[in-house]
Structure 1
Amino acid sequence: MVMTEEGIAAGRAAVPAPAPGGRARRPRRWTAEAGWAYLLIAPTGLGLAVFYLWPVLQTGYFSFTEWGPFGGHEWVGLDNYRALAADAEVRQALVNTLLFALLGLLGIPLAIVFAALLNRPKLRGVSVYRALFFIPVVTMPVAVAMVWRWLYNGDFGLVNQLLSVFGVEGPHWIADPATALYALVAVCIWAGLGYNIVVFLAGLQAIPREFYEAAEIDGAGPVAQFRRVTLPLLSPSIFFVSVLSVIGSLQLFDLVYVMAGSGQAARSNPAMPRIQTVVGLFYDKAFYTNDRGYAAAIVMALLVLIVVFTAIQFRLQKRWVHYG
């Protein structure tokens, strides 16, 4: 392309003249569009600030205070955090929560397998299977917990009834310290399986079929295709699901509250020290013992923990993409 002098001059004229301070002057049209953009996102930004940012800041302030039995609070500095570091109950709840997060990741490979099976084009009734897997996702967590509480009942639960057919005497699943944690993890995996399957199905359907055809021409079998084609191209979906799974496990509360109880009911449950979560401990301190300043310190420590784990996952994802 040959540039004439007239074209060069016209191009220079189209560039905004620099402002007296040395910065380029923005066109009025750009300023008007930016103003409309800020105006349109203002309701969402205001909602986030009022219902998310302000409660976080308020909780952070309360974590440095001590509350009286009839309300009112006074500044105590780092006393709550010092007590937090020396509290054995908090450490046990933290270990339990981390175990929930770690074991909950076992649902990811399970969801990948089911998604691969449901992604088969010749599978009959695939829509029905997808709907059945997704039903627990749209069911209220309290309803899910109540159903599984009945299934796990040690006296007349369906799980123990099925085990008795084979001559096995089932335990009191939620009241036995040896089985309570794993029983709750199984419910968590089951409840979130449908959502994970939908995410992985979308990722699988976005992989071009030509990649598998090329791998098949090169002599790669089904296992090699899965390792060399499916997993690398599915890594963004795996990363997304793993982040949500870890955050959800660290915030676990409703299932434990409904299935194992809280407050006085939790104290009578012999398995509660093995399944008490950080959020459950926060709830007990805030609403049963009325120690709201200490409860705020617990939940702020959980916030830091979530941020740290999410940052680690983002770091690992970058390394996976770089070396993969």
Structure 2
Amino acid sequence: MTSVDRSPRAGDGLASPARGSTRRAAARTGPPRKAPAGGARRGHDGWWPVLFVLPTMFGVVLFYLWPIVQTGWFSFTEWGAFGGQTWVGTENYVRLASDPDLGTAIVNTLVYTGIVLLGIPIAMVVASLLSRPGMRFTAFYRVLYFMPYVAMPTAVAMVWRLIFNGDFGVLNWALGLVGVDGPAWTSTPGFALVAVSIVGLWTSLGFAIIILSAGLKNIPSELFEAASLDGASPWRQFRSVTVPLLTPSVFFVTVITVINGFQLFDLLYALMGQGNPAIQETQSLVYLFYNEAFLRNDKGFAAAIAMVILLIVGAVTLLQFRMQRRWVTYA
């Protein structure tokens, strides 16, 4: 007697128990829901990011934005000797435009900033040498270069005042060995600005070396190996591989150096002193602001100087960001 196979086959119209249960579950739950756009889950936690950012934004508004607004208001006022404000409109700006000290301060600040910027090529060379394979005591050298940057400007200025001293300074002593009579560096107009700029270059060199060393680590070593196989000399590798790929770090260091250059005050004040006969020809923009605000007690006029500094720094920084499209290479 032949047995009949009663198992379901395709086309019989019969469904397996598992398939039937799946269909019943789908009928109960309905059609599948679509995920929100972008894969993000919509909920009621949209205010949490705002709560986390709120303390920082409160600090920015309180300590940065509000002082700018307040200084802008003060620049249109005149202050009395014992306080009190009087609205004078644009009188402070008109007076500032005809003040010869403003032009001197702008030129001195630009000269100082330009000399300090010369430290960036030096930092590129030093950072490249410290990043060479097999270089020993690299961390020690980097710390050694970085120490002047984190040192107090007053302490740095006191050491350099001994070096630049016209009577018993180390620099004039060394010049005297070769028959050169050195000047009084910090009290002679012209030489004083150069002396301050040299100290500024020396203190900012460590920061540039650290940033550029970090940028060198992001350059793939395969590029240098390929250039070496093609017969490129170390100088050719530095010029054609290192410099182009290091331009983002160079751009960052340049922006920071320019901003710090326009904020020159503490180093100038500590190195030269208030009663220095050359301070009038060597003063920076921030020193001019300090002189008007705290020595002459002309706070309205000083506020106008502060707003001019803000506009100059903002314009120069904007120009740098516009120009970086022509020379910065992003890999």
TM-score scaled to structure 2, two decimals?
A: 0.86
2:181 counterpart (164, 169, 178): 169
Question: What residue number does 2:292 align with?
Answer: 285
CA displacement 1:240-270 (0-9 Å, x = unmatched): 00000100001100011111123xx14xx1x
1:213 counterpart (185, 201, 225): 225
Q: Residue 114 of structure 2 aligns to a residue in which SS?
A: helix
Structure 1 CA distance for aligned equivalents of residues 310 and 161 of structure 2 = 29
Contact between 2:247 and 2:329, CA under 8 Å: does it hold in 1? no
Code of the residue aligned with 2:97 in structure 1: it is A
Contact between 2:79 and 2:300, CA under 8 Å: does it hold in 1? yes
CA displacement 1:46-102 (0-9 Å, x = unmatched): 111111111111001000000111111111111111111111111111111111112
Measured after TM superposition, the shift of residue 273 of structure 1 is: 3.3
2:211 counterpart (196, 199, 209): 199
Structure number with greater Rg is: 2
Matched ranges for 1:305-316 at <5 A: 305-316=312-323
Q: Residue 66 of structure 1 aligns to a residue in which SS?
A: strand
Structure 1 CA distance for aligned equivalents of residues 162 and 280 of structure 2 = 22
CA displacement 1:195-246 (0-9 Å, x = unmatched): 1100010011111100111122223222221122111110110000000010
Question: What residue number does 2:48 align with?
Answer: 36
Identity of paired residues, percent? 50
Q: Does 1:239 align with 2:251?
A: yes
Matched ranges for 1:119-198 at <5 A: 119-198=131-210
Q: Residue 219 of structure 2 aligns to a residue in which SS?
A: coil
Code of the residue aligned with 2:296 in structure 1: it is T
Q: Residue 47 of structure 2 aligns to a residue in which SS?
A: helix
Structure 2 CA distance for aligned equivalents of residues 152 and 77 of structure 1 = 45
Q: Residue 86 of structure 2 aligns to a residue in which SS?
A: strand
Code of the residue aligned with 1:292 in structure 2: it is K
Structure 2 CA distance for aligned equivalents of residues 289 and 227 of structure 1 = 52
Question: What residue number does 2:94 align with?
Answer: 82
Structure 2 CA distance for aligned equivalents of residues 110 and 274 of structure 1 = 29
Contact between 1:283 and 1:295, CA under 8 Å: does it hold in 2? yes
Going from structure 1 to structure 2, the CA distance change for 1:155 and 1:322 (only over 3 Å counts) comes to closer
TM-score scaled to structure 1, two decimals?
A: 0.88
Q: Residue 165 of structure 2 aligns to a residue in which SS?
A: coil
Structure 2 CA distance for aligned equivalents of residues 178 and 303 of structure 1 = 26
> RMSD across aligned C-alpha pairs, in angstroms?
2.0
Where in structure 2 are there 5+ consecutive unaligned residues?
Answer: 1-25
Structure 1 CA distance for aligned equivalents of residues 220 and 78 of structure 2 = 59
Going from structure 1 to structure 2, the CA distance change for 1:323 and 1:210 (only over 3 Å counts) comes to closer
Q: Residue 174 of structure 1 aligns to a residue in which SS?
A: helix
CA displacement 1:93-117 (0-9 Å, x = unmatched): 1111111112211010011111111
Measured after TM superposition, the shift of residue 28 of structure 1 is: 4.1
Going from structure 1 to structure 2, the CA distance change for 1:74 and 1:203 (only over 3 Å counts) comes to same
Equivalent residue pairs, number: 301
Q: Residue 309 of structure 1 aligns to a residue in which SS?
A: helix
Structure 1 CA distance for aligned equivalents of residues 328 and 119 of structure 2 = 22
Measured after TM superposition, the shift of residue 14 of structure 1 is: 2.5
Where in structure 1 are there 5+ consecutive unaligned residues?
Answer: 1-5, 17-23
Contact between 2:75 and 2:303, CA under 8 Å: does it hold in 1? yes
Structure 1 CA distance for aligned equivalents of residues 35 and 196 of structure 2 = 65
